[in-house]
Amino acid sequence: MKHNLLTVKKAVNGDGGALESLLVMEERMLYAKALSYVGNKEDALYVIQETAYRAFIGIKKLRNIDYFSTWLFRILIRECYTLLKKKGQMIPYDERELMIRLESKQDKPNHRPILEEALSQLKPSFRVVIILFYYHDLSISDIAVITDKPVGTIKTNLRRARKQLKIDLEGSDLVSETATY
């Protein structure tokens, strides 16, 4: 959202009312983003409250007033991940921890060992992207934030991982002759 730069400048200079008006303007988008991350209304409202607090405390650190919205959303995303981590719902991005969690799942279908074997053969960077994208239903941009890598790198790793998995699984019973990717 494009903001009045004068209002942002006032907020950076310590005007609480200016910051409040900026937060009110971003309210709907903050709520929608928080809800998409944490999954319920109460947690989303808590995250927005924490984001507003962090914004109030750190507004003087805003380097470029043109990027106020971006700055604010980065705070929101960090607060979402902090909350999810506290609740034990944070998705680990360390490949060993991801594999341990996958293996500990109780409801394994019959084809799971073949798929897990194929996953374990992938490069760690490919494995992490596949697991986060398919097992945890994260978007490419969310994976980029979690792994602290560019979106383009995530897309490339996902494409290469899919290609490698297709090659590895073609001989198994898991992939039929008519499957398309």
- Distance between CA 140 and CA 120 in Å, rounded? 21
| pLDDT higher than threshold 80 for residue 80 | yes
Q: Among 107, 47, 100, which Cα is nearest to 72's?
A: 47
> Residue 86 — pLDDT band, cuts 50, 70, 90?
confident
Pick from 20, 21, 11: nearest CA to 62: 11
Dist CA 72 CA 59 (whole Å): 9
pLDDT single digits (tens) 30-52: 988 888 778 789 999 999 999 99
The pair of three-digit structure tokens given for residue 49, joined into one six-digit string:
């409250």
The Cα 168–Cα 171 span in angstroms is 7
Sign (positive/negative) of CA torsion 73, 141, 130, 32? positive
Task: State pTM to two decimals.
Answer: 0.54
Q: What pLDDT sits at residue 159?
A: 93
What residue ranges in the chain does DSSP mark as E strands? Answer: none
Which domains does the chain carry? 5-86 (1.10.1740.10), 95-169 (1.10.10.10)
Cα distance between residue 92 and residue 70, in whole Å: 24
State pLDDT tens for residues 93-113.
Answer: 555 555 555 555 434 445 556
The Cα 179–Cα 181 span in angstroms is 7
Q: What percentage of the chain exceeds 90 in pLDDT? A: 27
